[in-house]
Each structure stands twice: as structure tokens, then as C-alpha cells.
Amino acid sequence: MNVLSIETINQKIFSPFGDIIEKTNSNKKLTINQGTTIRHSEISKLNLNTNNGDSYISIFSGEPRKFPIEIKILEKHPLATQTFLPIQNFDWLVVVAQEENNMPNLNTLRCFKVNSETGVTYKTNTWHHPLLVTKNQDFWVIDRINNFEKNNENLEEFYFDEKDYVYIDLNV
């Protein structure tokens, strides 16, 4: 069984795939609202290229998968970024891979543990696994939606050959 190790996420190692959303990553810190609020600004740049779609905030409700977690699909969004912000106080996982010739390079698969106070923005065209949680968990999600497209232009999926499946074992 191919087991994918779990790394601790930080902005430096995650930067090829997107941004880590936490206060320490703000580019500007401003005092606003008559001195009662600190704005941690410009943490994550969004690209919500509408291309006849619209930008929305949704809530995704994730359910845990069976353990060990089987990684057999990746997806990417070619028209827009996608941001996940956890609502509950639970850690969660992200799996990403670099792109090569418009396909995920499975030799570059990485799994990151993300703490409960941290969100992520996937860059446009970043191959990633669909939402991975270890407990039932809700997320604010900011992304592009077009309900009138016959095919979702902002979603491409890649299914692994069975011999290439990778597993995440939280007990390792």
C-alpha cells in the first residue's frame, strides 16, 4: 500500500499550490472602525474570473471518509481560485499535486494537516483532492458558480489508475 505522509502546512511549502489564510500572513495590518478593529488585510488574493459565472460564498458540509483514506481522484478549477475557511474547531487535511502537461504529476502528491484556525485558497489550476475532514465539519467556501453551463467549465477531474491509489493513515 502506498501511504502518503502528512506534513504540517506553512505558507512557504504550500505557496506553489495557493495561500494559507491566517492573521500572520497579512500584507497589511490596519486599525479601523474608530480604533476598535484590526484589519489583517490582503492575506489571500482571489481570482474569481467569472467567465459568465458569478462569485459566491457557500457552505460545504464535509463527512469523514473511511480509514485509511483512499486517494484516487484529484480535481482542479481552471477559471478561478477556491477558498476553504473552517467553521468548526477541527483540524483537516489537504492533498495537492503539481501540474505537468495539464495533468497532475502523481509523483508530487503532498498531504498537509491544516489547523482549525487556518483556511486555504487553492490557486487557479491547482490539482487537489476534494474536501478531506476527520470529523463532520462545515466550511465557508468562496468560488465561482455558473448554474447555466451544460458542463461545469471550472471543474476538471482526474481519476487514478487503481495501481496508483495512495492512502492516508492517520495512525501512522
Q: What pLDDT sits at residue 83? A: 97
**54 pLDDT tier (thresholds 50, 70, 90):** confident
Q: What pLDDT sits at residue 127? A: 98
Architecture of the 6-168 domain: Sandwich (2.60)
* pLDDT (mean) for 50-74: 91
- How many CB atoms lie under 10 A from the CB of residue 158? 15
Specify the 3-state DSSP secondary structure of 82.
strand
Cβ neighbors of 71 (< 8 A, separation 6 or more) are 4, 95, 109, 129, 160, 165, 166, 167, 168
Q: What pLDDT sits at residue 47? A: 84
Pair 93, 65: CB distance under 8 Å: no
Q: What pLDDT sits at residue 172? A: 54
- How many CB atoms lie under 10 A from the CB of residue 111? 20
Q: What pLDDT sits at residue 51? A: 75
Q: What pLDDT sits at residue 16? A: 96
- Record the pTM: 0.91
